[in-house]
Structure 1
Amino acid sequence: MSIEALPRRATDLPGSRRNGTLLGIAFAAAGMACVGSSVAVSTAITDAPLFTLQAVRYALAALLLLVVARVTGWRVPRPRGREWRWLAGVATAGLVLFNVGVVRGVAHAEPAVIGVAVAAVPMLLAVVPAIATRTLPARPVVVGATVVTAGAVLVQGFGRTDAAGIGYALLVLACEAGFTLLAIPVLARLGAFGVSFHAVWMAAAGMAVVGVATEGPAAVTTLGTGDLLAALYLAVVVTTLAFLLWFTAVNRLGSGRAGLLTGVVPVTAAALAIPLDGTVPNPLVWAGTAVVAVGLCIGLGGVLPRVRRSAPLAAHPGP
């Protein structure tokens, strides 16, 4: 073997790559579990000025990320040239327009309809990058994404809607996929921390503009203690922690495989309903959870470690 063929870094070793992949899967699952936990908090802020509250949430997340950078010594990378446009796309589509679509959508459709739209995200994350690069998507990832989407739909259920509700659901789907896809071109240089920080401060500014325009400049003064605590939870767990985990996972796994883990969101939301309000999931939810698990096994089967069978013991010759 030539010197050039030898691994040059520890991360080039097959075992290191496998460990990095498994860590990416764990990060994606944890990040989506954090997002799923937001359902419990959302029920407590239905009467709050939502756009203003979201502006507070993202502003708190940006401040928290700065504190983390100061404490850990991490450098906050400064975007260059076109990177500003990609980050603006992440903030505008993935955060601002996504929230507008959800808020406006539930006025025309039952929440399950919006949930079903989000459940279709794995398919977009698997197919769109392949179309953009003119390559064939990995078959296990596409099949796994299809199965995960079906399982998530079973967990979410269906609901009634009108034409406007369908339009908002499609907007939510596009924006949710855009949150990840628009970050891919800048993730390599800016990293999960840089993308998260710049996206949230831009979203805070965007949400503030939407809040002032639709809820009035005095809306922030109407936020109660419960609203602010909810905003703090959303900022710490559902934004700062979830974003860092998610973008790190996308950097390690790619959007297709990472997208499979979005199926964890409705499963987490359904599971948390048991201790929080005593709601026992119906059989369709349990069936959907099982289908999501099958989809994850299909899509991630090529990267999950396989159990090796022990080699049979050689017959020991007699004395």
Structure 2
Amino acid sequence: MKSASIGAASAMLLVGTSTAVSATIADYPVLAGQALRYALAAAILLVVVRHQRLPRVRLTARDLALLAALSATGLAGFNLFLVAATRHAGPAMIGTVVGAVPLVLALLGPLMERRRPAPHTVGAALVVALGAAVAAGLGSGSLQGLLLSLGALVCEVAFSLLAIPLLPKIGPLRVAAYPAALSVPLLLAASLALEGTDALRLPAPGEAAAFIYLGAIVTAAAFFLWYDALRRLGADRAGLFAGLVPVGALLTTVALGLGEAGPADVIGALLVTAGVVSGLRQPGRDRDRRGTHRPPEALAEPAADGSPRSPQNA
């Protein structure tokens, strides 16, 4: 439980650092850059999968459909909506809308597992979402910008929910690797259509360094940590940590000297922290007392070879 919480927190803090790092590649075509990022991440993850010598898994048509949907929404779709939203709304509005991810996961995650959302977790998710909104600044924008931001929110939620049925069977490494690989041709096609053939250029040395960080750390490492935590904590409790993304962005921005922390930033960070701590403590004790819900890690504890263990072997 503790290691899963640390992994989830680390993953979301790392994702938050991408805001400051992405500022160094602002002149590089966005969609082509994302294709480079995911291509590098997929290569790293697939090498790790091969090195781990995980047991072969036969993917069904349903598995392939889920992987394709995950890559099309949670990766490629999210970036497309995000790019389009920036043309009609400010970063504050987009950050505020996408900051509702913990609340949505707290509601939908348990429903997917055929159980009621825990009231304390939902309440904690509201606090986390409020903190993310305060940190984002509660900005303004057009109706079109709001709708596009909601599209990004849906894709971000799909990034977690579509992975849940896959994790017990193929494990977090493969769930992180396969959609990353599948998203590359989608993003390249979108880049050619929206950014033109000039978008496919070699990055400058500084840009290359940024892409290496984004691909290896923010994508490969953070995706694995997130999916591992999602498998062990469940969507509702792991989703609380999504509120740490603006905190990671704030810390990186200050550390790199790109900005200063204002009152709203500090208050938002404190609200997020309070919501995460509250959500992780009380629901676990309630479930244990009722005996109505076994934690996900009890059903899918990894075997010695790193592969997920079935309930019969747990």
Q: In the alignment, is residue 200 of structure 1 matched against residue 180 of structure 2?
A: yes
After TM superposition, the structure 1 = structure 2 runs for residues 133-152 of structure 1, keeping only pairs within 5 Å, are: 135-152=115-132
SS in 2 for 1:177: helix
Cα displacement string for residues 9-44 of structure 1 (whole angstroms, at most 9, x for unaligned residues): xxxxxxxxxxxx111111100100110110111111
Residue-by-residue CA offset, 1:206-250 (whole Å, 9 max, x unaligned): 111111222233422253222222221111011100000000000
- Output aligned runs, 1:123-134, within 5 Å: 123-132=103-112
Give, in angstroms, the shift of residue 288 of structure 1. Answer: 1.3
Q: Which blocks of at least 5 consecutive residues in structure 2 are unaligned?
A: 286-314
Distance of aligned partners of 1:134 and 1:110 in 2 relative to their CA distance in 1, 3 Å threshold: same
Equivalent of 1:65 in 27, 30, 45: 45
- Determine the C-alpha separation between the residues in 2 that align with 1:233 and 1:120: 27
Kept after mapping to 2: 8 A contact 1:53/1:227:
no
Query: Alpha-carbon deviation of 1:162?
Result: 0.5
Alignment partner, residue 311 of structure 1: none
Partner residue in 2 for 1:109: 89
Higher Cα Rg: structure 1 or 2? 1
Q: Which runs of 4+ in 1 moved over 6 A?
A: none
* Residue 88 of structure 2 corresponds to residue 94 of structure 1: no
Deviations 1:154-193 (A, max 9, x none): 1111222111100111001101001000111111101101
Question: Which among 154, 174, 178 is matched to residue 154 of structure 2?
Answer: 174
1:160 counterpart SS class: coil
**Distance verdict in 2 for CA 1:82–1:70, change over 3 Å:** closer
Greater shift in the superposed pair: 104-113 or 67-76: 67-76
Q: What's the TM-score once normalised by structure 2's chain length? A: 0.86
Structure 2 counterpart of 1:120: 100
Q: Distance in 1 between matches of 2:260 and 2:201?
A: 38
1:1-319 aligned at under 5 Å gives the runs: 21-75=1-55, 77-132=57-112, 135-221=115-201, 223-277=203-257, 279-302=259-282
Task: Describe the shift of the 1:278–1:211 C-alpha distance in structure 2 as closer, same or farther (beyond 3 A).
Answer: closer
Letter in 2 for 1:139: P
Partners of 1:127 and 1:161 in 2: how far apart? 27
- Could you say what secondary structure the match of 2:26 adopts? coil
Pairwise CA distance, 1:144: 0.6
User: 2:121·2:283 contact (CA, 8 Å) conserved in 1?
Assistant: no
Distance 2:51 2:168 in 1: 23
What's the TM-score, normalizing by structure 1?
A: 0.85
Unaligned runs of 5+ in 1: 1-20, 306-319
Q: Which shifted more, 280-289 or 98-107?
A: 280-289
Instruction: Please name the residue that 2:304 is paired with.
Output: none
Residue 83 of structure 1 deviates from its aligned partner by: 0.5
Take 2:38 and 2:74, find their aligned partners in 1: how far apart are those partners? 13
Q: Deviations over 1:78-109 (max 9, x none)?
A: 52220011111111110111001111101110
**Equivalent position amino acid for 1:22 in 2:** K
The SS at the match of 1:301 is helix
- Identical positions, percent: 37
**One-letter code aligned to 1:66:** L
* Cα deviation code 1:123-173 (max 9, x no counterpart): 111111334455320111101100111111111112221111001110011
Give 1:273 shift. 1.6
Q: What value does the CA root-mean-square deviation take over the aligned residues? A: 1.7
Going from structure 1 to structure 2, the CA distance change for 1:278 and 1:166 (only over 3 Å counts) comes to closer
- The question of whether the paired residues in 1 share the 8 Å contact of 2:110 and 2:236 is answered with no
